[in-house]
Chain A
Amino acid sequence: MKIKIFFLIVAMFLFNGLNNARELNDLAIVSAIGVDVDEKGQYVLTAQVLNTKKQNSSGGSSSSGGQPSLITVFNSSSSSVHGALRDMVDQSPKKLYIAHMELLLVSEKVAKSNMFETLDFFIRDNENSNDFILAITKDTSPKDILEVLTPLETNPTQSIKDSIEVTYKNKGTTIHNILSQNISIMLKPGINMVSVSIGLEGNPKEGQSEENIKNSNSKTKITVKELAYFDNRTLQGYLNEEEGIYYNLARNDLESAMLNLGTKEDGFVAEIIEAKCNSATKVENEEYIIDFDFKVKCAITEISKDKHVENLEEINTMQKQIEEKIKSEFISFVDNCKNKYNSDLIGFGNLYYKNMNKEYEKMQSKYGNDYLKHINVNCNVEVSLVNEGSVMSVW
């Protein structure tokens, strides 16, 4: 019995995974990574690491200067993503730990090549869980964005992530996909990926200093931009801001949005508070038709001086105006996907693939990648105004 207990204690010490133990102090927790490419075609990686060094306990500045930055940024370049990440240990006293990464920024140059190749390291690595947001940096580089300090939120990555989430939830012009969802869309047939884009307003150099967060109006700001669209896993361009609303509407992913209707004199503003989308695919006389049925609940949030919300007739008129607006904008977005963007963003092909697989194969053999132009879309919108605000008559 004593031998068994002795053996058990020895085994506990030998076989408890001590080889893989890593102290928290030895890890540099990465909150965001930026991927870019230089002129030589080498990957340039930027890693934003949380600075866990203790702040001055008195709260005041030391004689040599102010408080250390809350983030540290490392840059390196290599022929591969993993190589560039590993090369950062030359600069960092701690090994970079990417399990808590929340944001992956990819430059336009990288996004215009095959995205899947760039993302291979992040998909293959078992340390992270692919639950971070993928974003394209519009008209700027990931390095410039990750070096900017942000007001309101001490962790700039959290600030960007919150901006994306707030824009998605309140404005509806962007999406809130994590990497695993993006990979799923990239691999699906009959649909192309759409991604969040982030831009920079102001001078990136000024954004790096604490002065940027000391002023009431920061000179350098990180902003959420329009959705970036892809075709065959390469970046093609950007949608306009309003099209993001109709993209989310068609994907049944719209939480809230704002619609401006009419002119300044007799217009009004409606807020979409709930939206549902049903789609049905059919083939009639060898014509491919998709019927979209939108059920939208709106609230009136603002009206101009010539507009009234006093009786049922006026409310019905407003409802019809909203229906017309949504219908025309959605059809315009679909036409842009077919002619201007030439990319199946909503996933018409994928709808046929899932619901009418044989017809999808016929469509592919008949039209190849140009099938999108041969799909007709019908749109039916049903709007109900549930709320006119707390003011009943013109005041």
Chain B
Amino acid sequence: MVKEEINNQSQEADNITSFGYASFFITITKGFFLGIGTYMMFKISRVDTYMAAIMGAIASIITIAILYFIKTHSQNKDIIDLNKSLFGKVIGTILNIILCVTLLFLVILVLQNISQFVKIQYMPDTQVNYIRLLFLIPITYAAGKSIGIISRISQLVFFCNLAMLIASLIGLLPEIQINNLYPILKDGAMPPLSSAIIYFVLYSFPILLLTIIPNTKIIKSKHSKWKVILVFIYASFVLCSRILVAILILGEEVLSIYRFPEYVMLKMASLFEIIERMENTLAIQYLFDVIMFCIFALYFIVTFLKKKIKGEKKEKILPYILALVIFIVLNVMFKGSMLGYQLIENYIIPIVLVGIFVPMIITLLGTIVKAIKDKVMTLKQATS
């Protein structure tokens, strides 16, 4: 009886509320914001980047539609089991391995970027490995927990970031100069369109990772769908407003000279001219974004590995082995900072497209074919 109660309690802890599920739409989608996505977008479309952000946010509806379709026809399985059931053990495993390897590489890239940011801005005299460990320890610890605990972390991060966003916007409002938005579309419509693709690829692909959560773990409530829609709109608002405010404050000329313009703009924030130099506190929202993305990506990989490797003790040390692999790769690959920047600028879009979008679209096509087959079968049965 007691054992049953404990099992029930642990199962309840493993379930996530609809708000917890919805909060992932914002907390895991901004991992590539600082120094990666916005840097590439500002370089291409400069002062028109806010248009690219709006277009990219609208295009992200496609990603949500893909997620929604896969989850509706997933038969309450997560993406790992779904791929195996749709394509067989071999092809399904290959697809899952492509997803996991790509995610691992993206986590390494994002950690390298954030470590460089912290080293340059906060702790230039500190060894970069200390900083990497500082991030890896909480990420690894959280990634080894259940999805229920991760969703609670996500909800906490959601509210912390909301408070910091409000403080940033209030502090930056007096520094806004509307004429920094001009000239509009100086180089035509192509640069914002190219940037919109970058936005769509980098900020919407994490939504597809939510297929790792089976429907049975989400506690459905009356307004579940509305929560997801509202949080998605809020997520788009946060990204677009950060980009727009950076343009309005810094202007196109200054945007192009800084590596982290979204951090530099925070230097101008002051609350009622009393509290100044808040940039280091307000920039914590960027660090939380990266940490949440890394936690979820590692959880995805750990879930896949747990299905392959049986044994409770082996399952517990999986996140730590992954963290060790990440740490070693970071030290071997990124001895200097320039390789990271080159990889980010030249290869990250193709990597995300081939490693995440293509397998997900294959899964989507598989679910569409299966759904059509199932419907045909039901029709045949109904007629016979």
Contacts and interface: CB of A to CB of B under 8 A. Distances in A.
Given A130-B267, A357-B186, A20 B254 contact: no
Interface string B115-148: 0000011111111001001100100000000000
A180 B257 CA distance: 12
A187 B183 contact: no
Contacts of B126: 17, 19-20
The contact size tier of chain B is 20 to 34
A12 to B, nearest CB: 11
Q: Is the interface of B mostly helix, strand, loop or mixed?
A: helix
Given A126-B120, A180-B254, A184-B253, A19 B125 contact: yes
B267 A129 contact: yes
A105 B61 CA distance: 53
Contact of A126 (B124, B125, B127, B277): B124
A343 B12 CA distance: 72
Contacts of B121: 126
A19 B253 contact: no
A335 interface: no
B92 interface: no
B342 interface: no
Interface in B320-354: none
B113 to A, nearest CB: 16
Given A19-B127, A357-B186, A11 B137 contact: yes
Given A11-B137, A15-B134, A353 B267 contact: no
B384 interface: no
Contacts of A131: 267
Q: Is the interface of A mostly helix, strand, loop or mixed?
A: helix
A374 interface: no
B183 A183 contact: no
Nearest to A185: B253
B251 interface: yes
B123 A355 contact: no
B125 A20 contact: yes
B182 A354 contact: yes
B254 A187 contact: yes
B124 A20 contact: yes
Interface centre among B186, B250, B254 (most CB of A within 10 A): B254
A354 B179 contact: yes
A355 B182 contact: yes
Nearest to B187: A357
Nearest to A128: B267
For the complex of A and B, 5 pairs with smallest distance between CB atoms: A187-B253, A354-B182, A357-B183, A20-B123, A19-B126
Given A17-B126, A19-B126, A20-B125, 16 more contacts: A11-B137, A14-B130, A15-B130, A15-B134, A17-B123, A19-B123, A19-B125, A20-B122, A126-B120, A126-B124, A129-B267, A180-B268, A183-B254, A188-B251, A188-B253, A354-B183
